[in-house]
Every structure is written in structure tokens, then in C-alpha cells.
């Protein structure tokens, strides 16, 4: 695990295509900036998010990190299903890999609290991202859900196991099996959100919480985060297995039918696939 030793002053803003990265006062704000695609992520987005979290990790000015999406409609709509329907993958990536699992791991490993400011829909891989954040603040119009079984995908790692730990087994199964969105109030009552605020209060409140974290002892926060993580660390093994399984599944006709149906704006027809074995 990398350790942050004092280095020369780092950049406050960095050029990215799919995200925005800014350091303000004692916190970094990372914004998924693909509103035309409902802030869904492609491989490049994931590469850039990993880089942004790594920058925040090594920057001694940064005591906490806010993750949000641009606009009012979407926090993150998960994987870019249209891209997947078109090319069978999530598009070109710097390292030739779709590194979603590494993104999950860096959100957990960065030894600074991560606050998700959920400004709209958090669905599929987007719901996994907010679930993994240390603290979630939701706008009152935010909605949360999983979508994999509708579009031919699943996250059998943190996306299911850690979600179950956060909201409970029955609720996690309900979310994954039925793929229905829940509103912000329900998310709060299920423990998926720490608090719900009006939309125009979302970023001010997230920044207020970040400022409060900036006053706390950083080493104590670091050990606490690592301590909270330790108890669910065995799920990392499941995550590695899950991603290998998903890699195989993503090339299957069933998965292709899910993504294609979404891109073609029709209901998927999974009737020809045999789930009995």
C-alpha cells in the first residue's frame, strides 16, 4: 500500500476529459462529467477517476474527498451501456483494461474519508460507487438502484457483498433482483445515505462536512478508515473472483442481449437463456 510522504506542492486542477478534479481548502472535489451520457462511465472515465483519487491520496493539503456528478439528473448511471452495446466493451483505456475493480479498491484504500454527494440517479455501478464511499449525502430527488439483471451485468463482489453489509441481506437482494430505484428518503432509512438535503444544499453541505473533517486528526481518521475496512477486507477476494466471472459473462449472448436492448430502447428478451445449470 502506498504511503504519502510530503512532496513538492501539487497541481490544484488537472486536465481530464471525463471528470473534473479540483482542490479547495482542505478537500478535493471529483466530479464525473459526462452529463450527455447520464454520467455513466467508460474505461477512460474509470482510468481518470483512479488517477484523481491517487492525486488526492498523495496531496497533503487534501484531508477528505467529495465524489459527485455534474448536473442535477445523475450522480452516475454505472457502465456506459451504449458503448458496451456498440463495441462489446467500455471503450479504449490507457492500460488496455477496464479497471473498475481498481477504482473500487482505491476508494476503499485512500486513507482519507470519501463523501459521495448524490445529485441524482445512482444506478448500477454508480450505486456501487456511492455504497463504497465513507459517507453519503443525498439530494432529496436522488434515487438509488441496481440494474445489472436488466442489462446483462452483475457485481458479485463489493457491489453485492458490501451492499448487503451496509443495508442488510434482504434489502440488497431486493435491490439486485428487482432492479427498482428507491428514493432518497428510503435510502436514508435503509442506511445507504447518511442524510438527505435539498438539491441546492447538496454541495454546500458536502463541503461543510469536508471542512469539518479537515479539522480532525488525519492520522486518527486514517487508522479509523483502515479499521472499518479491515472487517470487510475478505470481500476483496470475492471481488477479484467476481470480476473474472463478469469478464467471461460480458462476452455471453445473454449479456449482449441486455446491453443491446437498452441501446435499442426495448425490453430485453432473456427467455432463450437457460439459468438452470
Ligand X SMILES: CC(C)(COP(=O)(O)OP(=O)(O)OC[C@H]1O[C@@H](n2cnc3c(N)ncnc32)[C@H](O)[C@@H]1OP(=O)(O)O)[C@@H](O)C(=O)NCCC(=O)NCCSC(=O)CCC(=O)c1ccccc1C(=O)O
Q: Which residues contact ligand X (rule: CB under 6 A)? A: 37-38, 40, 77-82, 98, 100, 121, 123-125, 128, 147-148, 151, 153, 155, 159, 246
Q: Are 55 and 21 in contact (CB under 8 A)?
A: yes
- For residue 27, the minimal CB distance to ligand X (Å) is 26
Sheet containing 182-183, strands listed edge to edge, beginning at the edge strand earlier in sequence = 74-76, 121-123, 143-145, 182-183
Task: Identify which of 270, 272, 252 has the alpha carbon closest to the alpha carbon of residue 261.
Answer: 270
CA-wise closest residue to 63 among 218, 203, 209: 218
Separation of alpha carbons 36 and 211, rounded Å: 31
Minimum Å gap between C-beta 74 and ligand X is 6
Question: In this structure, are strands 182-183 and 121-123 parallel, antiparallel, or unpaired?
Answer: unpaired
Cβ closest to ligand X, residue 40 vs residue 68: 40
Nearer to ligand X, 44 or 64 (CB): 44
191 is in an annotated binding site: no
Is 217 labelled as part of a ligand binding site?
A: no
CB of 159 to ligand X, least distance (A): 5
Instruction: Find the shortest distance in angstroms from Cβ 87 to ligand X.
Output: 13
Would you say 69 or 148 has its CB closer to ligand X? Answer: 148
**Is residue 121 annotated as involved in ligand binding?**
yes
Q: Given the complex with ligand X, which of 149 and 218 has the nearer CB atom?
A: 149
Do residues 148 and 176 touch, judged by C-beta distance below 8 A?
yes
Given a contact cutoff of 8 angstroms between Cβ atoms, the answer to whether 259 and 81 are in contact is yes
State the binding site. Answer: 90, 121-125, 153, 265
Amino acid at each position: 500500500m502506498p504511503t504519502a510522504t510530503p512532496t513538492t506542492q501539487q497541481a490544484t486542477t488537472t486536465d481530464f476529459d471525463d471528470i473534473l478534479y479540483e482542490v479547495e481548502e482542505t478537500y478535493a472535489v471529483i466530479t464525473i462529467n459526462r452529463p450527455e451520457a447520464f454520467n455513466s462511465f467508460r474505461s477512460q472515465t474509470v482510468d481518470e477517476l483512479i488517477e484523481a483519487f491517487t492525486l488526492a491520496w498523495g496531496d497533503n493539503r487534501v484531508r477528505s474527498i467529495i465524489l459527485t456528478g455534474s448536473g442535477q439528473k445523475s450522480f452516475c448511471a454505472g457502465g456506459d451501456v451504449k458503448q458496451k452495446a456498440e463495441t462489446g466493451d467500455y471503450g479504449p483505456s490507457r492500460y488496455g483494461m477496464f479497471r473498475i475493480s481498481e477504482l473500487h479498491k482505491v476508494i476503499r484504500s485512500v486513507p482519507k474519508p470519501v463523501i459521495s454527494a448524490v445529485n441524482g440517479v445512482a444506478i448500477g455501478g454508480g450505486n456501487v460507487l456511492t455504497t463504497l464511499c465513507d459517507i453519503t449525502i443525498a439530494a432529496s430527488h436522488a434515487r438509488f438502484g441496481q440494474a445489472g439483471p436488466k442489462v446483462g451485468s452483475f457485481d458479485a463482489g463489493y457491489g453485492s457483498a458490501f451492499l448487503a453489509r451496509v443495508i442488510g441481506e434482504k434489502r440488497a437482494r431486493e435491490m439486485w433482483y428487482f432492479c427498482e430505484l428507491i428514493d432518497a428518503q428510503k435510502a436514508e432509512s435503509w442506511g445507504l445515505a447518511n442524510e438527505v438535503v435539498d438539491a441546492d444544499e447538496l454541495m454546500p453541505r458536502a463541503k461543510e462536512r469536508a471542512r469539518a473533517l479537515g479539522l480532525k486528526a488525519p492520522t486518527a481518521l486514517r487508522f479509523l478508515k483502515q479499521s472499518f475496512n479491515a472487517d470487510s477486507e475478505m470481500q476483496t477476494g470475492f471481488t477479484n473472483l467476481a470480476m473474472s466471472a463478469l469478464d467471461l459473462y460480458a462476452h455471453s449472448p445473454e449479456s449482449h442481449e441486455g446491453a443491446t436492448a437498452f441501446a435499442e430502447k426495448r425490453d430485453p428478451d432473456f427467455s432463450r437463456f437457460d439459468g438452470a445449470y
